[in-house]
Amino acid sequence: TPTFRIALIAGDGIGKEVMPEGLRVVQAAAERFGFELDCRTIDWASCDYHAQHGQMMPDDWKEQLQGVDALYFGAVGWPATVPDHVSLWGSLLKFRREFDQYINLRPVRLFEGVPCPLAGRRPGDIDYVVVRENTEGEYTSLGGVMYEGTEREIVIQESVFSRHGTDRVLRYACELANSRARKHLTVATKSNGIAISMPWWDGRADAIGRDYPEVTVDKQHIDILSARFVLQPTRFDVVVASNLFGDILSDLGPATTGTIGLAPSANLNPERRFPSLFEPVHGSAPDIYGQNIANPIAMIWSGALMLDFLTQGQGAGRAAHDAILGAIEAVLRDGPRTRDLGGTASTTELGMAIAERVAAA
């Protein structure tokens, strides 16, 4: 039996509530499809760990994760006690960079049984993937504050777009589009306003796109692109975007499918030189933490993406992924439902209902 070593980092807030449900379903799939998960629970988060140690992770965190095949991650962030940039740069953003997880894959799909806030849209009308650049772009710590505390105060926050970093995410998106039926790629840009990096980004999209003659490349400014996520969602198949634009689009897209509580994400190092990380798109949701009402489906779907990525080429992982997606579809159609889906079921009830269907699939 193939064995995968998984580091479980539940994190803060509802990360701690959705993790057990994700694990329940992933373990049901492992049992059913014949692979072994060797899981290690790790408590690095803002709440307990940072409170005790004054930092998000130990200095030797990378050594401690040696040999791990994947990270299954809930969410970190507890702004009441630790500033968000400290939590995130000390944890999730560090993993993405140090493990070179330069692809952040975020599927968006409208399911049967989930009322769409966009009148008249049916499942199938909304079914696309956001490919988000995940290691550079607008997310940097470069810059500074000058004349601090005076009326002349100036803040500079730099962006970084490397040719290597840009080309590889564009190529990944082209490959993905090329592998799909519609072969359509939307490139998010803002070359009208952001006058240096974005015209250059467009040029790289043209250059890489030329290697994929069957892929239609459609560049759209981020403002109208956001509007079209709402007005014309059927236009989209694969959407590639810089780090910040991809972040925004990947909350907006799932909102048009009813709730961000469904949205999964895969932070990939496609070459597998480092472990990849699988997590919901959403955060730690302090506003609902402690009530057992968070929707666990984003976490569960992320687990399905993890099994698919880990076992690529073996069949069992794909079967496990498909069984989990089938169980999610069935539960969304027939219930139970959490509160964000208009129901009254708990996080645990949803997790158990999905796990049961996976086991029986």
Give the footprint of ligand NAD on this chain (CB under 6 A): 14, 75-77, 79, 84, 88, 92, 260-261, 279, 282-288, 294-295, 298, 340
> Among 12, 136, 247, 349, which residue interacts with Mn ion (rule: CB under 5 A)?
247
Least distance from Mn ion to the Cβ atom of residue 69, Å: 25
Name the residue nearer to ligand IPM (CB basis): 50 or 357. 50
Name the residue nearer to ligand IPM (CB basis): 35 or 229. 229
> Among candidates 176, 247, 251, 232, which has minimal Cα distance to 208?
176
Tell me the C-alpha distance between 148 and 335, whole Å: 55
> Among candidates 13, 101, 1, 8, which has minimal Cα distance to 284?
13
Tell me the C-alpha distance between 9 and 7, whole Å: 6
Sign of the CA dihedral with 21 first, then 27, 28, and 29 last: positive
Contact 130, 253 (CB under 8 A): yes
Any contact of residue 88 with ligand IPM (CB under 6 A)? yes
Contacted entry of Mn ion, ligand IPM, ligand NAD, none for residue 65, CB cut-off 5 to 8 Å set by kind: none
Any contact of residue 298 with ligand IPM (CB under 6 A)? no
Least distance from ligand NAD to the Cβ atom of residue 347, Å: 8
Residue 222 CA from chain centroid, whole number = 19
Contacted entry of Mn ion, ligand IPM, ligand NAD, none for residue 340, CB cut-off 5 to 8 Å set by kind: ligand NAD
Tell me the C-alpha distance between 124 and 355, whole Å: 25
Residue with tokens 């592998």: 179
Please choose, out of 46-54, 181-189, 239-247, 268-276, the segment that lies near Mn ion by the rule CB under 5 A: 239-247
Contact 118, 232 (CB under 8 A): no
> Among 17, 247, 308, 349, which residue interacts with ligand IPM (rule: CB under 6 A)?
247
Least distance from Mn ion to the Cβ atom of residue 247, Å: 4
Please choose, out of 194-202, 223-231, 241-249, 324-332, the segment that lies near Mn ion by the rule CB under 5 A: 241-249
Q: CB-based burial of residue 232 (10 Å sphere; 0-12 exposed, 13-18 middle, 19+ buried)?
A: exposed
Interacting residues with ligand IPM (CB under 6 A): 88, 93, 247, 281, 283
